[in-house]
């Protein structure tokens, strides 16, 4: 028998022995009697728990998870997590929508009252014992409390408007103690960490509701006005209960396990659904072994927490997948997550990546087995106009590399072993999960698929229901299955965010051999695959390892006409555009140019150029249609060009903009990005009067180590050259030189927090005629009574000013925008609707006051506070000073309708230096508005919670 197999068998025998010892230890015994009050949405609970001290330490107190209480206020970790994701739902919630836990009493087995208190985390309860609990001894606690359930709109947990309930992680469970207490607050991450228990739940609930649970039912009864059911679970962490007004769950009894699910498809008949579920059950059994409980709960609620992100979230009438495939993928993904959550008890807050790796690897394997030809965009791949896209060629499983690389290219990727609550939402929900599954697929390709599959099966059978399982256990099993060392997988792939990037540097060939050099561009020492292709057929394949920077290899020649690294894309490589070399001469190695309508995924075999119609608007050019030509794919790339010529029908000439940009990402934190850019634009600022700008710039960006933080710092250097062609009819009105150059330096520090927004910047500008400094500080506070207070301070000072015009002066309400930074619809208008557009800059006033410019210095304060929801009261005050004149005090006030801050706002002036404006003639002309029509800016409003 091979030595490797002997080692593997001996390893399994040792682990099985340890597992038998572990399973012989005592479980906590938990008895919960719960009564749901349908009117008050409360659950009255009497709980008896026998707590076994399974550590080697004496315990004077015990900590319990009380995650229902995380909905109780705006200061809990859950509320803060929502705020970090720009979700105000829990912050603005009414009191009757919130959840809370009211503990009435805690006594021990002698009915001695015990002291209890909430920790600073609010959803963790500390109970102090009457006397220390020695190791391997138990203590019995009796706890009486009431849960006020939250509305389900926050996380699906709680009560529903249709009368149903979803109870998950709802009663008190002991926190884990393994030498130190693991006290994890609820952050809506589905990662409760608690000890296993033998649990009985006696639930009394309203009549007319149906029960589905991950626990086994051991009896039920009905009585006038209500129902009762007894649920039991052995070696379980928590009892999950779904109560619905209709019986939506179906039990599918298969030869492998029983699945209870309410996932269904209206266009996929019930018999076919049963066949698909049977196939999924068989797949789970083959790859994970026997399920240790009676029933696997697979619910729509569970699926909604971790859906199939992408095209299958579109409305049903444009979904591109066959109903059978979509149904199976929904059930499979939810079943895998539920299966692993109920059996592999890692510390999910710390080590969730292992469960993610197994689940997503098996998702990949399922598609390869049953749907090998499934395209990523499904039936859309065959449609005219779409089938020419590289996106249409991508297989369904290629999404794993695509989405994990999306984070890497944006420099927001995080190591797989990053704690679950330190991941940004996109990584927590998508990128890290996909990268974990891709990692096992990578190993399967390197080590051998059969070895990895059998290792996962062995690992599951040995460690299922092991309450003290560690990542080291998984690592040990994987290393046993391989003839090669796998330290690189854990030390590089799992524990760092280092990018994988190889290229073929040079190549020499003879009649019988090929000699080439592989360059490791990022220094990440992981194996790389090389394929030899003849036309489109693979004729050879090799693996190469231990490449520090570059290394030369020689392989036999088997008729190859191309060498391609990572041809099957099993390796999540950062850049695949330089992965191939032709053997047919220098000129044949040039990639052809491919022009394509609209943006596409990256095709490593072409130089892609995209084009798409665009249209802009200002009142002097009107609607300006044109063509945008660019090279940006769905994945970000370092060098980008973007050219957008458009035609002005009003001026009958070309206008538009263009840019060249090189962006270099440095690391996770500190100085993380450098941006080098050359921009140019041309448009009209008045009838028959054109402006053009040319701007080279350098932008440096800093961010903290915690990527969840919205704080960023930027340092901008730019030189803006402005050229103006002025119509003769208005030439006498222009009292400055038509052309000018300004060097601008700005440092900005912004913390874009939804609760406490803070931002400040310092700006310096220098030209031949002036030098000026400006400073802005802005705060937004959202108080616990849901009042929002905004305050902004602005100050500017000329250090030198040789101009005789107000064109470069500080402005109170509508800056001249001589740098052409602001998106005015009609920048030269002083009357009419377009003159009422306001962009909060410089003085930030909303009323139009006489002589609003300052050529010496200015200092203003703008403040607002909401009266009701989006209706606010605002007030501005300040001082401005012109050379040779006295300092003037100015003020205004009014009502602000703040529909979406910085995107759509209306201002109604009430009182100012002009007097009571609301009673003056032509009041409609005094109303000001903020509007944003840039699609890119509006898109950022919806994507900011993910990134």
Question: For residues 19 and 343, which has the higher predicted lDDT (pLDDT)?
Answer: 343
SS3 245: coil
* The pLDDT value given to residue 195: 92
Q: Report yes or no on 20 lying in a domain.
A: no
Same domain? 285 vs 237: no
Structural domain span for residue 300: 254-343
* The pLDDT value given to residue 19: 38
Residue 62 pairs with which residues in a beta bridge? 127
Kindly indicate the confidence band of residue 26, based on its pLDDT and cuts at 50, 70 and 90.
Answer: low
- Of the listed ranges 362-376, 720-734, 785-799, the least confidently predicted one is 720-734
Same domain? 51 vs 196: yes
In whole numbers, what is the pLDDT of the chain averaged over residues? 91
Q: pLDDT tens digits, residue range 148-166?
A: 999 999 999 999 999 999 9
Same domain? 851 vs 733: yes
Same domain? 60 vs 190: yes
pLDDT beyond 80 at 488: yes
* The pLDDT value given to residue 578: 84
SS3 585: coil
pLDDT beyond 90 at 28: yes
SS3 482: coil
Q: How many helices (H) and strands (E) does the chain have?
A: 14, 47
pLDDT beyond 70 at 9: no
Same domain? 797 vs 929: yes
Same domain? 561 vs 677: no
- Of the listed ranges 277-281, 331-335, 433-437, 604-608, the least confidently predicted one is 604-608
- Please give the Cα distance from 49 to 139 (Å, whole number): 8
* The pLDDT value given to residue 505: 87
Instruction: Give the list of residues 6+ apart from residue 450 with CB closer than 8 angstroms, or none.
Output: none
Q: Report yes or no on 11 lying in a domain.
A: no
- The residue among 343, 378, 413 that closes a domain is 343
* The pLDDT value given to residue 86: 87
DSSP string, 821-888: -S--SSTT-SSSGGGGB----TT---S--SS-EESSEEEEEEEEEEEETTEEEEEEEEEEE-TTS--E
Same domain? 180 vs 42: yes
Region 358-378: mean pLDDT is 95
- The pair of structure tokens assigned to 36 is 């749901």
Q: Report yes or no on 200 lying in a domain.
A: yes
* The pLDDT value given to residue 22: 36
pLDDT beyond 70 at 11: no
Whose structure tokens read 């390709």? Answer: 445
Q: Report yes or no on 400 lying in a domain.
A: no
pLDDT beyond 60 at 548: yes
Kindly indicate the confidence band of residue 590, based on its pLDDT and cuts at 50, 70 and 90.
Answer: low
pLDDT beyond 50 at 74: yes
SS3 812: coil
* The pLDDT value given to residue 23: 39
- Please give the Cα distance from 685 to 679 (Å, whole number): 18
Rg (CA), the chain: 33
CATH code assigned at 64: 2.60.40.1730
* The pLDDT value given to residue 604: 79
Which long-range CB contacts under 8 A does 153-159 form with residues at least 24 apart?
A: 153/89, 153/97, 154/71, 154/82, 154/89, 154/90, 154/93, 154/188, 155/188, 156/301, 156/304, 156/305, 158/41, 158/71, 158/99, 159/41
DSSP string, 169-234: S-S-EEBEESSSEE-----SSS---B--EEEEEEEEEETT-EEEESSEEEEEEEETTEEEEEEEEE
Whose structure tokens read 């997550």? Answer: 337
- The residue among 218, 248, 278 that closes a domain is 248
Q: Report yes or no on 483 lying in a domain.
A: no
- The pair of structure tokens assigned to 460 is 């599951």
- The residue among 217, 248, 279 that closes a domain is 248
Cβ 498 vs Cβ 492: under 8 Å? yes
- What CA–CA distances, in Å, run from 837 to 243, 250, 602, 686, 905? 53, 58, 40, 16, 10
Treating both helix axes as pointing N-terminal to C-terminal, what angle do 323-341 and 270-288 enclose, rounded to 10 degrees? 40
Region 133-154: mean pLDDT is 96
Same domain? 739 vs 792: yes
Region 530-549: mean pLDDT is 90
For 434, half-sphere exposure in the C-beta direction (CA atoms, 13 angstrom radius) is: 26
CA 920 to centroid of chain Cα atoms: 50
- What CA–CA distances, in Å, run from 138 to 109, 497, 609, 779? 11, 44, 70, 53
Whose structure tokens read 């009549």? Answer: 207
Question: For residues 583 and 330, which has the higher predicted lDDT (pLDDT)?
Answer: 330
DSSP 412: -
Region 616-641: mean pLDDT is 93
Same domain? 292 vs 239: no
CATH code assigned at 665: 2.40.160
Q: pLDDT tens digits, residue range 657-671?
A: 999 999 999 988 999
CA 853 to centroid of chain Cα atoms: 44
- Please give the Cα distance from 212 to 22 (Å, whole number): 31
Same domain? 335 vs 266: yes
pLDDT beyond 70 at 285: yes
SS3 46: strand
- Please give the Cα distance from 810 to 880 (Å, whole number): 9
- The pair of structure tokens assigned to 493 is 């792939």
pLDDT beyond 90 at 132: yes
CA 372 to centroid of chain Cα atoms: 29
Same domain? 89 vs 232: yes
pLDDT beyond 80 at 367: yes
Whose structure tokens read 């697979």? Answer: 298
Phi, psi of 620 (to 5 degrees): -85, -35
Region 664-685: mean pLDDT is 94
SS3 533: strand
- The pair of structure tokens assigned to 650 is 């009003």
Q: Look up the pTM and report it.
A: 0.90
CATH code assigned at 520: 2.60.40.10
Same domain? 799 vs 925: yes
Dmax (CA) for the chain in angstroms is 100
Q: In terms of Cα–Cα distance, which of 351, 336, 343 is closest to 470?
A: 351
* Domain total of the chain: 4
pLDDT beyond 60 at 908: yes
């Amino acid at each position: 028998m091979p030595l490797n197999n002997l080692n593997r068998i001996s390893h399994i025998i040792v682990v099985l022995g340890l597992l038998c010892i572990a399973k012989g230890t005592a479980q906590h015994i938990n008895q919960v009697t719960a009564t749901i009050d349908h009117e008050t949405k409360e659950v009255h609970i009497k709980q008896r728990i026998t707590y076994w001290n399974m550590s080697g330490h004496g315990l004077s107190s015990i900590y319990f998870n009380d995650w229902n209480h995380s909905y109780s206020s705006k200061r809990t970790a859950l509320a803060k997590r929502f705020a970090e994701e720009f979700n105000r739902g829990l912050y603005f919630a009414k009191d009757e929508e919130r959840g809370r836990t009211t503990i009435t009493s805690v006594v021990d087995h002698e009915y001695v009252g015990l002291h209890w208190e909430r920790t600073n985390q609010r959803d963790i309860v500390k109970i102090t014992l009457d006397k220390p609990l020695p190791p391997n001894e138990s203590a019995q606690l009796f706890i009486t409390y009431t849960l006020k359930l939250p509305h389900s709109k926050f996380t699906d947990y709680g009560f529903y408007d249709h009368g149903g309930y979803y109870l998950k992680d709802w009663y008190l469970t002991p926190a884990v103690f393994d030498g130190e207490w693991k006290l994890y607050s609820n952050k809506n991450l589905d990662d409760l960490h608690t000890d296993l228990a033998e649990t009985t739940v006696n639930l009394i609930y309203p009549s007319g509701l149906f029960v589905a649970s991950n626990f086994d039912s051991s009896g039920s009864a009905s009585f006038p006005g209500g129902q009762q059911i007894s649920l039991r679970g052995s070696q379980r962490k928590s009892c999950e209960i779904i109560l619905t007004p209709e019986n939506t769950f179906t039990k599918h009894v298969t030869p492998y396990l029983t699945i209870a699910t309410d996932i269904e498809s209206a266009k996929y008949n019930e018999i076919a659904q049963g066949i698909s579920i049977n196939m999924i059950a068989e797949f789970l059994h083959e790859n994970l072994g026997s399920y240790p409980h009676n029933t696997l709960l697979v619910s729509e609620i569970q699926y909604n927490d971790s859906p199939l992100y992408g095209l299958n979230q579109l409305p049903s009438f444009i979904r591109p997948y066959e109903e059978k495939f979509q149904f199976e993928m929904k059930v499979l993904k939810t079943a895998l997550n539920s299966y692993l959550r109920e059996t592999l008890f890692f510390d999910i807050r710390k080590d969730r990546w292992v469960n993610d790796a197994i689940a997503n690897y098996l998702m990949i394997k399922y598609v390869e087995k049953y749907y090998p030809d499934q395209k990523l965009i499904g039936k859309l791949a065959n449609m005219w106009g779409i089938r020419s896209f590289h996106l249409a060629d991508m297989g369904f499983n290629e999404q794993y590399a695509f989405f994990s690389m999306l984070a890497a290219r944006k420099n927001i990727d995080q190591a797989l072993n990053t704690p679950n609550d330190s991941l940004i939402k996109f990584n927590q929900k998508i990128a890290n999960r996909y990268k974990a599954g891709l990692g096992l697929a990578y190993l399967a390709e390197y080590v051998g698929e059969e070895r990895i599959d059998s290792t996962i099966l062995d690992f599951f059978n040995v460690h299922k229901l092991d309450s003290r399982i560690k990542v080291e256990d998984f690592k040990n099993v994987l290393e046993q299955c391989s003839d090669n060392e796998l330290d690189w997988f854990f030390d590089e792939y799992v524990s760092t965010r280092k990018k994988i990037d190889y290229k073929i540097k040079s190549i020499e060939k003879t009649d019988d051999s090929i000699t080439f050099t592989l360059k490791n561009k990022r220094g990440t020492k992981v194996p790389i695959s090389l394929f030899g292709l003849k036309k489109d057929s693979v004729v050879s394949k090799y693996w190469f390892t231990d490449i520090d920077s570059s290394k030369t290899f020689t392989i036999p020649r088997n008729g190859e006409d191309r060498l391609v690294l990572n041809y099957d894309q099993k390796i999540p490589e950062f850049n695949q555009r330089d992965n191939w070399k032709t053997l047919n001469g220098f000129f044949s190695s040039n990639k052809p140019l491919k022009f394509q309508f609209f943006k596409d995924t990256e095709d490593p075999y072409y130089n892609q150029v995209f084009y798409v119609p665009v249209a802009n608007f200002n009142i002097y050019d009107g609607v300006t249609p044109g063509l945008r030509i660019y090279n940006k794919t769905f994945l970000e790339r370092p060098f980008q060009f973007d050219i957008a010529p458009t035609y002005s029908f009003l001026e009958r000439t070309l206008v538009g903009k263009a840019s060249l940009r090189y962006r270099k990402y440095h690391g996770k934190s500190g100085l993380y990005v450098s941006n080098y850019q050359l921009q140019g634009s041309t448009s009209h600022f008045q009838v028959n009067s054109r402006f053009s700008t040319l701007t080279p710039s350098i932008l440096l960006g800093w961010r903290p180590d915690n990527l969840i933080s919205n704080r960023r710092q930027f340092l901008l250097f730019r030189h803006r050259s402005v050229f103006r062609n002025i119509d003769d009819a208005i030439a006498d009105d222009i009292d400055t030189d038509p052309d000018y150059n300004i060097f601008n330096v700005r440092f900005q520090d912004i913390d874009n927090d939804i609760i406490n927004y803070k931002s400040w910047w310092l700006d310096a500008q220098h030209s031949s005629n002036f030098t000026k400094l400006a400073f802005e500080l802005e705060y937004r506070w959202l108080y616990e009574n849901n009042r929002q207070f905004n305050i902004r301070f602005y100050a500017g000072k000329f250090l030198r000013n040789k101009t005789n015009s107000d064109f470069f002066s500080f402005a109170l309400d509508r800056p001249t925008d001589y740098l052409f930074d602001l998106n005015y619809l009609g920048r030269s208008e002083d009357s009419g609707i377009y003159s009422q557009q306001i962009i909060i800059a410089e003085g930030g006033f909303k009323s139009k006051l006489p002589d609003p410019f300052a050529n010496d210095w200015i200092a203003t304060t703008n403040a607002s506070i909401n009266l009701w929801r989006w209706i606010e009261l605002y007030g501005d005050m300040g001082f401005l000073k012109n050379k040779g004149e006295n300092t003037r005090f100015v003020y205004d006030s009014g009502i602000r309708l703040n529909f979406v801050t910085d995107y759509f706002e209306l201002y109604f002036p009430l009182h100012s230096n002009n007097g009571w404006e609301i009673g003056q003639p032509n009041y409609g002309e005094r109303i000001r508005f903020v509007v944003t029509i840039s699609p890119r800016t509006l898109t950022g409003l919806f994507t900011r919670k993910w990134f």
